[in-house]
Amino acid sequence: MTARDIIEFAREIGADARLKDAQVCVSTGPEENGSIRGWSDAVFLREEADGWTVGFAQYGRTRVIDAGELRDLHKAWVSSQDKTVFQAYEKA
């Protein structure tokens, strides 16, 4: 899954997504002033050799997640608006 794939997928499920500083930034809030609303509310995806990790403000960073898990996780987050869904994927 490429950064472009993630951005397109995020937008398909109702989130805003941008590429910023080699990370994909995804927010569930409306866009303000041409940037993602409340960067503290966004999650930041970083590409690793074998998948993607997700950084989320209060909880840290996930383990490497494959494309299928990433889609499921983002669907759960966008529908619930609750970042605690990321806790199950945290690094050990």
Q: How far apart are CA 88 and CA 25, in angstroms?
A: 20
**Sign of the torsion formed by the C-alpha atoms of 29, 33, 39 and 43:** positive
pLDDT in tens, 4-41: 999 999 999 999 899 988 899 988 866 555 554 556 67
The larger pLDDT score, comparing residue 63 to residue 87, is at: 63
String of DSSP letters for the chain: --HHHHHHHHHHTT-EEEEETTEEEEESSPPBTTB-S-GGGSEEEEEETTEEEEEETTTEEB--B-HHHHHHHHHHHHHH--GGGGGGGB--
pLDDT in tens, 28-76: 866 555 554 556 678 899 999 999 999 886 668 899 999 999 999 999 9
Q: How far apart are CA 92 and CA 71, in angstroms?
A: 21
pLDDT at position 58 is: 64
The model's pTM is 0.81
